[in-house]
Amino acid sequence: MSRIPNVRLVPENDVVLHDLGPLAELAGTWKGKGFNLIARPDKEQNANLFLELNQTRETLEFDPISSSIPNRGFLQTDIELFGLTYLQQITDATTGGALHIEPGIWVTVPLTEAPAEPTSVARMATIPHGNAMLAPGSALTVSSVPTPLNLSAGLFPSFNTAPFGIGGGVQPVGTLGGFPQYNLNNPPSATNPRTPFGDIPPIPLPHDIDGVLMQDVVKDPILLLQKVLTDQAANGHTIEKMTVLNIATTTNINFAKVAGPGGALLPPVPMPLSDGGVENLPFLVQNADVGTVYATFWIEKIVHKAFPPFLQLQYAQMVFLNFPILNPAPPAPPKPIVLTWPHVSVATLRKAFG
């Protein structure tokens, strides 16, 4: 293409949406609910960690950037990116307390020759804890989704929440992990710190989220997303079209073949377009370093013979938090060991009014 002019005027709305390509349907406001799990350091050392479980409410707003975003080239001709700004706000569904706010940008990237890469997408995010993230990836549109409805075209075999050794692999679906906080049969207490301990109002256990037991969600959070689709299929809904966005901050992600430390690994999931990364404030580097992020977003057009169609956005996100805990080793004093602690968020949102 020719050199991009210095003055870029805004085209018509339909041109703006067309240029967004696979990201076009993100434009607008989405609202819904989900689940969040995060292990965090316990400075008081009453226990080795605090495990936080939250049912969530979420608002996710996307605004198209009306002009192109020129990247000026030297080794090749200029390219134009097209994108949307977004603001994500998540609260605890039980208490209404704030959990997360995140401004960011999604962009489409055209085919390039230097470097030689196909078309792609990328998400840029700023998190107030002191993180900045770039997660490139791919987009795929599926026009025929199998029945029963399922989450097709996701690249990542597991979003299991069990911790694992630094440099190891995400644990297989269904793995509970070796820490008592993850076993919900163990009641929460001052020495076994886990929500709902201290929550007002408390969340009774055993507990389920829309018919999925909380313990099963801890083992495989994708069950929550699949349950939504299963219930919709039972009511006569189908997915007419699905756009799948797979993004990551690294080019290869390891997944364990069998559970446990030192277990065999599956072949790494390659993300050749994802040479991104995460930057952290020094406090986080020392206390709870964010290493890797990967996520899948499913943009779904849901149809029914008797009702108007609607748009649904489902996502699953995994964040690697690396921090040490004190590992009891009687009779010797406890020794600090560093593990990767999955921070997992899932949600089902619908395009909302406004």
Position 50 scores a pLDDT of 85
pLDDT in tens, 157-212: 999 999 999 989 999 999 998 888 898 888 777 777 777 545 544 555 557 888 89
Report whether pLDDT(328) > 70. no
Q: Is the dihedral of CA 143, 247, 20, 126 positive or negative?
A: positive
Q: What is the CA radius of gyration of the chain?
A: 21
Structure tokens at 1: 């293409």
Q: What is the pLDDT of residue 156?
A: 96
* Integer Cα distance of 77 and 303 in angstroms: 42
What's the pLDDT tens digit per position in 73-117? 888 888 999 999 999 999 998 889 999 999 999 999 999 999 999
Mean pLDDT, rounded, for 295-322: 96
Tens digits of residue pLDDT in 26-80: 999 999 999 999 998 877 666 788 888 889 999 999 999 999 999 988 888 889 9
Rounded to a whole number of angstroms, the distance between the first and last alpha carbons of the chain is 37
Q: Using CA atoms of 254, 258, 263, 269 in order, give the dihedral in degrees to the nearest 10.
A: -10
State mean pLDDT over 202-224.
83
For 167, the token pair is 């440099």
Strands of the chain (E only): list them.
28-40, 50-64, 69-71, 79-92, 98-109, 112-113, 116-117, 120-127, 131-142, 164-165, 208-209, 212-213, 238-248, 252-253, 269-270, 277-280, 289-303, 310-329, 332-352
pLDDT score recorded for residue 151: 87
Question: Mean pLDDT score of the chain, rounded to an integer?
Answer: 88
Q: What is the pLDDT of residue 298?
A: 97
Instruction: Indicate if the pLDDT at residue 302 is higher than 70.
Output: yes
Residue 89 in tokens: 């706000």
Q: What are phi and psi of 254, to 5 degrees?
A: -90, 140
- Tell me if the bond preceding 172 is cis, omega within 30° of 0: no
Q: What is the CATH number of domain 13-352?
A: 2.40.128.20
The pLDDT confidence band at residue 260, using thresholds 50, 70 and 90, is confident
Residue 296: is it exposed, middle or buried by C-beta count within 10 angstroms (0-12/13-18/19+)? buried
The full set of domain ranges for the chain reads: 13-352
Task: Please say if the pLDDT value at position 332 is more than 70.
Answer: no
Residue 111 tokens, joined: 């085919």
pLDDT at 184: 84
Question: d(Cα 60, Cα 352) in Å, to the nearest integer?
Answer: 10
